[in-house]
């Protein structure tokens, strides 16, 4: 059966629009070195390397992990490259964990990154085949109609998304690594920002960032000997469903509901809202906070917006969400999922500095991708299960 | 140090390396059938042999059941209902329409899956449940291309009830 | 370690160009046939993992539509690697080892005929210092072959003999693309394609897909009379830079083979996915194969090379020979990256 595994080191780069001072290799090495330093390890101590990033067309390199591998100590070691659309960062963490949980490796390093400044993501995402209908206006154009569907269904007030955006941007001010630092953020500022894909406003969307996130994971017998704080992995889960099929609920896909139910079952959680201390959720457009509060079974169907409205998801609320500022504040696409997982681990290790939730013991990390069809999640805790 | 020397000794910050690759994509057997039909002004869907649901546009197999569709094509009306929509105010590389424009998820009459397209209507008029119809290019310009449909436009029919399309949002 | 076996394997024919099917239409019948072969439905798979490449497909997220072939409803526990399906199989094997799954569906697919494959592969190289020169994949392999010849590691006759052997074996493989009776002299009479490589030294460009079902313990015994048990599987990645590794041997294959326990007993059959004759010789040596081993009974990658599926198919080809009793112990190999940069070795046994 699965070997109990812990996160023992985390490293992140500063998230910025353009990291012109480093190459792709330099970027991921920066995150990996910080994770090793946090874990008090050297390259030699790593058994295998797991690399994740979003589509290769973003940076114009086919299977870039091949040329990047030795920059993060992967020479003559096993190396895997994960790619599961927007959820890839989360999946990278899960695959890395499984390498230890299976008993195959003692200690692994995973790194996820995107260097959007070396790429043209909008181009990469909108290559339209000659015979297909090119009518989807980017990710915003795809998700905006679904947000409208959620609003219709739940009766959520129109300003719910604004409130999420203000909260996450305020949280980002606590996190020096966050890309967007908007000191004068206000309700009016978000409300008055241009409507890009109605009902999604400019300040309700995520930026394009460069950045990398790395983690070191270790088996119990090693992690237990550490004096520093570690994050024990209680459960991981992945679920996928096809993009388009008849009767598909695109607003609240079955895959998210199944993912959540199985995750909690594995973690022995029956009342997630009470048993989890905080959550770091993949919210690239502000409305996805209430949607995934429902999708992760934190609250009842069509009630997610109330958590935002009542301040439950605020930093000082009873269920803080996106303490780091979230995807809305930093979005190196391929890394974004792993950053969510890492933030959950930082919280339960008590090492989240200014964005630390007091006494956080159990936290949820979440990522999703594709047309709301790929989900990867984990639960970590300061205590062993 | 002159500017040129500085440039020569300083770090290389950006290296521009244009990549150009040619691909000959194949539409595939199912899409070919669909495209040949649309060249004749017909909208062909396909029926799932397991649950009978009509897929449009069809990708040749049922994603739920993983089975290949048979040859029984279903011809669909070019009228439908707006299931949900967005008003787009950002330019997109693949859509050459003046801003703002309306993107719609349309459920064609007789289909069980949505089609994503654009709507020509006053911004303040568009709403969920609105009845619409395809506007085609002039017949002599039809090719094996989905671009034969220029856009959808509202028609004078009462709105569809929410219950009739809510499972397609 | 849990006992895990290959209990199902299907593939499409390797074709230079699938004329009218897209990747998913190639994949769907492969998975349908696999369901029929194993009697399993999509609901029976605890885990699904695939391997494919966006650059082969010429579009981002090309693997997403692969899910259409699976029948991923209800939603499946699923993952994807931007690697050959052999590594997807490794990930699935790990999931079974950790007790999260008892059965897994693994598939790989690619349609390289849509683009200019040797040029596309240039995009694998370091984007700052190598790729801007656009060295194509055959030229890069040619540099390695030249080194092997000039260092006296092999002769042109050895390389030609590998092609003769594989094409001869492929005659009995209905899925193979390049097959027939050739002689070493015939091949050496060919003009150079990229000196010192002749056309016959290079694997063909192939469109295709393959799929495998893995099952653990008693589940495997129920599904298969003589399951092909995975007794060892390991993979190693070298640095890419050609200046820091020995191009005259495949060190990563050696390490992976040792960790997988390939040399612990006799090997009846070996299936290699090296895409050039000189690389096939390097892999054979790295695996320490003797004359007692039948190498590439299917013809190997030199007879059919559907990228992203070709490595997975080698594992499948070994498994079928164990199911039939033709082999008791087999070794499958998969590779990725320029000049055998990354290699996977899988040891399969019938008992």
User: How far is it, in rounded angstroms, from Cα A230 to Cα A10?
Assistant: 10
HSE-CB of C283 using CA atoms within 13 angstroms: 31
Single out the residue of C133, C123, C145 nearest to residue C240, CA to CA.
C123
Q: List the beta bridge partners of residue B63.
A: none
**How far is residue A85 from each of residues A109, A137, C42, measured CA to CA in Å?**
21, 18, 22
User: How far is it, in rounded angstroms, from Cα C213 to Cα C49?
Assistant: 10
Closest Cα in chain C to A266? C100
Last residue of a domain, which of B49, B76, B103?
A: B76
pLDDT band, very low/low/confident/very high, at B151 (cuts 50, 70, 90): very high
pLDDT at A287: 98
Q: What number is the average pLDDT over the span A40-60? A: 95
Chain A segment 46-75 residues within 8 A of C by beta carbon are: 49, 55-67, 69-70, 74-75
Q: What number is the average pLDDT over the span A188-206? A: 97
Smallest CA–CA distance, residue C311 to chain A, in Å, is 15
Could you tell me if C119 lies within 8 Å of chain A, comparing CB atoms?
no
pLDDT band, very low/low/confident/very high, at B161 (cuts 50, 70, 90): very high
pLDDT band, very low/low/confident/very high, at B157 (cuts 50, 70, 90): very high
In a domain, B3, yes or no: no
Question: Is B123 in the same domain as B160?
Answer: yes
Residues of B in contact with A132 (CB under 8 A): 31, 146
Could you tell me if C239 lies within 8 Å of chain A, comparing CB atoms?
yes
Contact B63 C114 (CB under 8 A): no
Contact A197 B84 (CB under 8 A): no
Could you tell me if A324 lies within 8 Å of chain C, comparing CB atoms?
no
Contact B23 C18 (CB under 8 A): no
In a domain, B82, yes or no: yes
Contact B28 C25 (CB under 8 A): yes
Q: What tokens appear for A231 in the block?
A: 């994050």
- Considering only CB atoms, C69 lies closest to which of B19, B25, B61, namely B61
* Chain A / chain B CB contacts < 8 angstroms: 130
pLDDT, greater one: A342 or B98 = A342
Find out whether C350 and C329 touch, Cβ atoms under 8 Å: yes
In a domain, B14, yes or no: no
Percent of chain A residues past pLDDT 90, beyond the cut:
90
Smallest CA–CA distance, residue A247 to chain C, in Å, is 12
DSSP C122-154: GGGS-TTTTGGG---HHHHHHHHHHHHHHTTS-
Cis peptide before B57 (omega within 30 of 0): yes
Question: Is B38 in the same domain as B110?
Answer: no
pLDDT digits (tens, 9 = 90+) for B24-55: 988 888 888 999 999 999 999 999 999 999 99
Find out whether A139 and A204 touch, Cβ atoms under 8 Å: no
Could you tell me if C33 lies within 8 Å of chain B, comparing CB atoms?
no
Find out whether A110 and A100 touch, Cβ atoms under 8 Å: no
* Number of domains observed in the structure of chain B: 2
Q: What number is the average pLDDT over the span B78-86? A: 96
In a domain, B47, yes or no: yes
Question: Is B90 in the same domain as B165?
Answer: yes
3-class DSSP state for residue B20? coil
pLDDT at A329: 98
Find out whether B28 and C25 touch, Cβ atoms under 8 Å: yes
Contact A194 B89 (CB under 8 A): yes
Contact C94 A102 (CB under 8 A): yes
Q: In terms of C-beta distances under 8 Å and separation of at least 24 residues, what long-range contacts does C132-137 make, across chains too?
A: C132/B15, C132/B17, C137/C338
Sign (positive or negative) of CA dihedral A63, A33, C239, A79: negative
Whether A138 shows a pLDDT value over 80: the answer reads no
Contact A241 C73 (CB under 8 A): yes
pLDDT band, very low/low/confident/very high, at B4 (cuts 50, 70, 90): low
Residues of A in contact with B114 (CB under 8 A): 244
Smallest CA–CA distance, residue B90 to chain A, in Å, is 6
Question: Is B131 in the same domain as B158?
Answer: yes
User: How far is it, in rounded angstroms, from Cα C203 to Cα C306?
Assistant: 10
pLDDT band, very low/low/confident/very high, at A22 (cuts 50, 70, 90): very high
Find out whether A171 and A315 touch, Cβ atoms under 8 Å: yes
Find out whether A145 and B103 touch, Cβ atoms under 8 Å: yes
pLDDT at A127: 62
Q: What tokens appear for C115 in the block?
A: 């683009």
Find out whether A28 and A240 touch, Cβ atoms under 8 Å: no
Which of C100, C129, C217 should one mutate to test binding to chain A, selecting the residue with the greatest count of A CBs within 10 A? Answer: C100
| CATH code at position B83 | 2.40.50
pLDDT digits (tens, 9 = 90+) for B121-135: 999 999 999 999 999
Could you tell me if A101 lies within 8 Å of chain C, comparing CB atoms?
yes
In a domain, B9, yes or no: no
User: How far is it, in rounded angstroms, from Cα C64 to Cα A243?
Assistant: 8
Question: Is B43 in the same domain as B88?
Answer: no
Smallest CA–CA distance, residue C149 to chain B, in Å, is 33
Between 3.40.710.10, 3.40.47.10, 3.90.1170.50, 3.40.1280.10, what CATH number should domain C4-116+205-223 receive?
3.40.47.10
User: How far is it, in rounded angstroms, from Cα A382 to Cα C42?
Assistant: 37
Question: Is B160 in the same domain as B115?
Answer: yes
Could you tell me if C70 lies within 8 Å of chain B, comparing CB atoms?
yes
pLDDT beneath 70: ranges in chain C: none
User: How far is it, in rounded angstroms, from Cα B84 to Cα B101?
Assistant: 14
Find out whether A89 and A339 touch, Cβ atoms under 8 Å: yes
Which of B14, B62, B63 should one mutate to test binding to chain C, selecting the residue with the greatest count of C CBs within 10 A? Answer: B63
pLDDT, greater one: A163 or A127 = A163
In a domain, B40, yes or no: yes
Whether A133 shows a pLDDT value over 80: the answer reads no
User: How far is it, in rounded angstroms, from Cα A157 to Cα A75?
Assistant: 54
Q: In terms of C-beta distances under 8 Å and separation of at least 24 residues, what long-range contacts does B18-23 make, across chains too?
A: B19/A60, B19/C123, B21/C58, B21/C115, B21/C116, B21/C119, B21/C120, B21/C123, B22/C115, B22/C116, B23/C58, B23/C114, B23/C115
Find out whether C154 and C281 touch, Cβ atoms under 8 Å: yes
Per CATH, C4-116+205-223 and C230-349 having the same topology is answered: yes
Could you tell me if A20 lies within 8 Å of chain B, comparing CB atoms?
yes
pLDDT band, very low/low/confident/very high, at B1 (cuts 50, 70, 90): very low
Question: Is B124 in the same domain as B56?
Answer: no
Q: Could you give the ipTM of this predicted complex?
A: 0.97
pLDDT digits (tens, 9 = 90+) for C9-39: 999 999 999 988 999 999 999 999 999 999 9
Question: Is B93 in the same domain as B60?
Answer: no
Question: Is B96 in the same domain as B139?
Answer: yes
Q: Architecture of domain C230-349 in CATH?
A: 3-Layer(aba) Sandwich (3.40)
Whether B8 shows a pLDDT value over 70: the answer reads no
State which residues form the domain around B130: 78-169
Contact B59 C68 (CB under 8 A): yes
3-class DSSP state for residue B8? helix
Sign (positive or negative) of CA dihedral A352, A354, A355, A356: positive
Give a three-class secondary structure readout of C196-259: CEEHHHECCCEEEEEEEEEEEHHHHHHHCCCCEEEEEEEEEECCCCHHHCCCCCCHHHHHHHHH
Q: C277-287 and C156-169 helices cross at what angle (nearest 10)?
A: 90
pLDDT band, very low/low/confident/very high, at A220 (cuts 50, 70, 90): very high
Closest Cα in chain C to A47? C236
Question: Is B87 in the same domain as B40?
Answer: no
Question: The whole model's pTM is what?
Answer: 0.97
In a domain, B15, yes or no: no
- Which domains, from first to last, does chain A contain? 5-121+208-223 (3.40.47.10)
In a domain, B12, yes or no: no
pLDDT at A135: 58
Smallest CA–CA distance, residue B40 to chain A, in Å, is 15
Find out whether C308 and C51 touch, Cβ atoms under 8 Å: yes
Find out whether C251 and C143 touch, Cβ atoms under 8 Å: no
For chain C, domain boundaries:
4-116+205-223, 117-201, 230-349
pLDDT at C351: 86
């Amino acid at each position: 059966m699965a070997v109990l595994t812990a996160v023992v080191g985390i490293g992140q780069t500063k998230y910025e629009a353009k990291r012109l001072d480093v190459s792709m290799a330099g970027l991921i090495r920066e995150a990996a070195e910080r994770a090793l330093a946090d874990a008090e390890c050297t390259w030699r101590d790593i058994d295998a390397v797991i690399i994740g990033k979003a589509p290769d067309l973003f940076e114009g390199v086919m299977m870039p992990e091949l040329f990047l591998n030795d920059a993060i100590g992967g020479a003559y070691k096993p190396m895997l490259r994960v790619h599961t659309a927007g959820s890839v960062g989360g999946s990278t963490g899960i695959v890395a964990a499984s390498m230890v949980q299976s008993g195959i490796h003692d200690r692994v390093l995973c790194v996820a990154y995107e260097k959007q400044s070396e790429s043209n993501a909008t181009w990469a995402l909108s290559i339209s085949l000659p015979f297909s209908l090119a009518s989807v206006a980017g990710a915003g154009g795809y998700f905006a109609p679904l947000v409208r569907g959620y609003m219709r269904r739940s009766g959520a007030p129109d300003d719910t998304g604004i409130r999420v955006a203000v909260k996450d941007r305020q949280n980002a001010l606590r996190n020096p690594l966050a890309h967007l630092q908007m000191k004068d953020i206000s309700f009016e500022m978000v409300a008055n920002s241009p409507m890009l894909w109605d009902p999604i406003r400019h300040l309700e969307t995520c930026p394009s960032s460069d950045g990398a996130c790395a983690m070191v994971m270790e088996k119990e017998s090693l992690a237990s000997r550490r004096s520093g704080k570690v994050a024990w992995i209680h459960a991981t889960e992945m679920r996928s469903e096809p993009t388009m099929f008849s009767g598909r609920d695109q607003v609240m896909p079955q895959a998210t509901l199944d993912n959540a139910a199985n995750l909690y079952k594995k973690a022995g959680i029956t009342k997630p809202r009470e048993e989890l201390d905080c959550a770091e959720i993949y919210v690239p457009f502000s409305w996805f906070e209430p949607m995934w509060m429902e999708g992760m079974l934190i609250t009842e169907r069509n009630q997610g917006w109330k958590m935002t409205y009542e301040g439950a998801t605020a930093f000082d609320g009873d269920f803080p969400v996106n303490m780091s500022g979230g995807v809305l504040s930093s979005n190196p696409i391929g890394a974004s999922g792993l950053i969510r997982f890492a933030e959950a681990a930082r919280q339960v290790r008590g090492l989240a500095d200014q964005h630390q939730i007091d006494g956080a013991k159990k936290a949820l990390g979440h990522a999703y991708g594709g047309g709301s069809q790929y989900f990867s999640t984990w639960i970590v805790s300061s205590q062993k299960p | 140090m002159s500017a040129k020397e500085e440039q020569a000794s300083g770090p290389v910050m950006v290296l521009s390396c244009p990549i150009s690759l040619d691909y000959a994509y194949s539409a595939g057997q199912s899409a070919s059938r669909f495209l040949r039909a649309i060249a004749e002004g017909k909208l062909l869907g396909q029926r799932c042999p397991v649950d009978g649901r009509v897929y449009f546009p069809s990708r040749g197999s049922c994603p739920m059941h993983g089975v290949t569709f048979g040859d029984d094509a279903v011809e669909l009306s070019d009228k439908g209902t707006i299931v949900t929509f967005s008003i787009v105010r950002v330019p997109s590389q693949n859509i050459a329409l003046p801003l703002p424009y309306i993107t719609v998820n349309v459920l064609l009459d007789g289909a069980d899956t949505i089609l994503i397209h654009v709507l020509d209507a006053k911004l303040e008029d568009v709403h969920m449940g609105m009845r619409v119809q395809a506007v085609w290019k002039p017949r002599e310009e039809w090719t094996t291309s989905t671009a034969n449909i220029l856009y959808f436009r509202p028609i004078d029919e009462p709105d569809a009830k929410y219950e009739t399309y809510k499972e397609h949002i | 370690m849990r006992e895990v076996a290959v209990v199902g394997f299907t593939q499409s024919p390797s074709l230079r160009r699938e004329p009218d099917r897209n990747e998913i239409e190639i994949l769907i019948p492969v998975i349908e046939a696999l369901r029929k072969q194993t009697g399993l439905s999509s609901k029976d798979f605890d885990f699904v993992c695939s391997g494919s490449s966006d650059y082969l497909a010429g579009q981002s997220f090309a693997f997403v539509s692969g899910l259409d072939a699976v029948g991923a409803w209800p939603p499946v526990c699923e993952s994807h690697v931007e690697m050959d399906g052999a590594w997807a199989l490794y990930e699935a094997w790990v999931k079974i080892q950790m007790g999260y799954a008892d059965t897994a569906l693994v598939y790989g697919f690619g349609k390289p005929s849509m683009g200019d494959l040797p040029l596309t592969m240039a995009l694998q190289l370091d984007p700052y210092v190598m790729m801007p020169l656009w060295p194509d994949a055959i030229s890069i392999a040619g540099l390695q072959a030249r080194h092997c010849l000039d260092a006296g590691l092999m002769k042109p006759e050895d390389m030609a003999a590998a092609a003769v052997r594989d094409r001869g074996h492929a005659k009995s493989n209905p899925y193979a693309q390049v097959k027939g009776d050739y002689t070493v002299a015939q091949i050496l009479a060919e003009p150079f394609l990229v000196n010192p490589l002749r056309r016959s030294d290079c694997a063909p460009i192939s469109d295709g897909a393959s799929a495998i079902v893995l099952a653990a313990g008693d589940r495997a015994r129920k599904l298969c009379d003589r399951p092909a048990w995975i007794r060892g599987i390991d993979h190693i990645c070298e640095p890419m830079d050609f200046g820091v590794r020995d191009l005259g041997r495949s060190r990563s294959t050696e390490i992976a083979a040792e960790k997988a326990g390939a040399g612990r007993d006799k090997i009846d059959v070996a299936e290699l996915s090296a895409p050039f004759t000189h690389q096939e010789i390097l892999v054979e040596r790295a695996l320490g194969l003797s004359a007692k081993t039948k190498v590439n009974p299917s013809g190997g990658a030199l007879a059919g090379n559907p990228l992203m599926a070709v490595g997975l198919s080698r594992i499948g080809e070994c498994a079928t020979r164990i199911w039939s009793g033709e082999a008791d112990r087999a070794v499958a190999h998969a590779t990725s990256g320029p000049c055998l940069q990354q290699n996977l070795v899988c040891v399969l046994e019938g008992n």
